[in-house]
Amino acid sequence: MSKKRKSRGRSKGGKGSSTIIYCSNCGASVPRDKAKKVTTRMSLVEPTLARELRAQGAYIAAPTQIRYYCVSCAVHYGIVKVRAKNERRSW
């Protein structure tokens, strides 16, 4: 059978099975090394208030939010792009 990608769509190498996580959008179960990880920082205060507080010297914590997407949701949201056939297996 032909190989579409060098990594077979995974990043596990030869380590065996990996844990299953769920897509943050559709809830599909995806192997952790195949899912696309997106880290964003979310602000707890409004931008205008944060600007005033920073001007007074306050520290505003911004917790990170980690989301995992399945491949189809990642393509839909533009996190990954659809590549041409000659760009997939670059080895």
Q: For 37, phi and psi rounded to 5 degrees?
A: -95, 130
Q: What's the pLDDT at 32?
A: 95
How confident is the model over 26-78, as pLDDT tens digits? 999 999 999 999 999 999 999 999 999 999 999 999 999 999 999 999 999 99
Q: Strands, DSSP E only, in 26-73?
A: 29-31, 36-41, 64-69
Helix (H, G, I), strand (E, B) or coil at 76: helix
The model's confidence at residue 88, banded by pLDDT at 50, 70 and 90, is: confident
| 20-80 to CATH, choices 3.30.70.360, 3.20.20.450, 3.30.1740.20, 3.10.129.10 | 3.30.1740.20
Q: Where are the domains of the chain?
A: 20-80
**Contact present, 21 and 35 (Cβ < 8 Å):** yes
